[in-house]
């Protein structure tokens, strides 16, 4: 018997701000959980592998590079265009030691959580 990933959970300070960023980034709908947390659900047509995102409030600040992060793939534009779109939503470029030849661009969300935009499908 094995396990499978069913949700991505992210601890955040400003739940509303992060819900707006990630819902715009992923094209997901926002559903308030009523307990201070928010669930982001894929819209119809998002694809079979689209995971919901749970944003839960956290009191402590982020200090170091995330030990895990999502890898995003642009669905209707080039990776470079997607990076520019995410930057306009509030992402920033992040340096985690990459050389520029990796096949992805490292960004950080408005609270500094790193994520990557892949140049194509994962191999």
| Domain 66-123 architecture | Roll (3.10)
User: Residue 52 and residue 31: Cα distance in Å, rounded?
Assistant: 11
Give this prediction's pTM.
Answer: 0.89
Question: Do the domains at 1-59 and 66-123 have one common CATH topology?
Answer: yes
From CA 43, how far away is CA 58, in angstroms rounded?
26
Query: Tens digit of pLDDT for each residue in 4-19?
Result: 889 999 999 999 999 9
Q: Helix axis angle, 79-89 relative to 15-26, nearest 10°?
A: 160
Quick one: CATH architecture of 1-59?
A: Roll (3.10)
Phi, psi of 107 (to 5 degrees): -125, 170
CA atoms within 13 A on the CB side of 122: 5
Per domain, the residue ranges of the chain are 1-59, 66-123
Tens of pLDDT along 44-59? 866 678 899 999 999 8
What is 23-48 written as a DSSP string?
Answer: HHHHTEEEEE-SSS-EEEEEPTTS-T
Q: Which of 34, 37, 42, 35 is nearest to 13 (CA)?
A: 37
For the segment 57-71, the average pLDDT, to the nearest whole number, is: 85
Residue 121 makes CB contacts below 8 A (sequence gap 6+) with 73
């Amino acid at each position: 018997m094995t396990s499978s990933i069913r949700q991505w959970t992210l601890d955040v300070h400003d739940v509303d701000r992060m819900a707006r960023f990630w819902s715009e980034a992923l094209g997901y709908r926002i559903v308030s959980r009523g307990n201070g947390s928010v669930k982001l659900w894929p819209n119809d047509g998002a694809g079979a592998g689209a995971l919901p995102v749970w944003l839960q409030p956290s009191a402590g600040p982020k200090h170091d590079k995330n030990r895990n992060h999502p890898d995003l793939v642009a669905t209707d534009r080039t990776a470079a265009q997607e990076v520019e779109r995410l930057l306009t939503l509030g992402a920033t470029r992040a340096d985690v030691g990459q050389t520029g030849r990796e096949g992805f661009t490292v960004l950080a969300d408005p609270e500094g959580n790193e994520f990557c935009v892949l140049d194509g499908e994962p191999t």
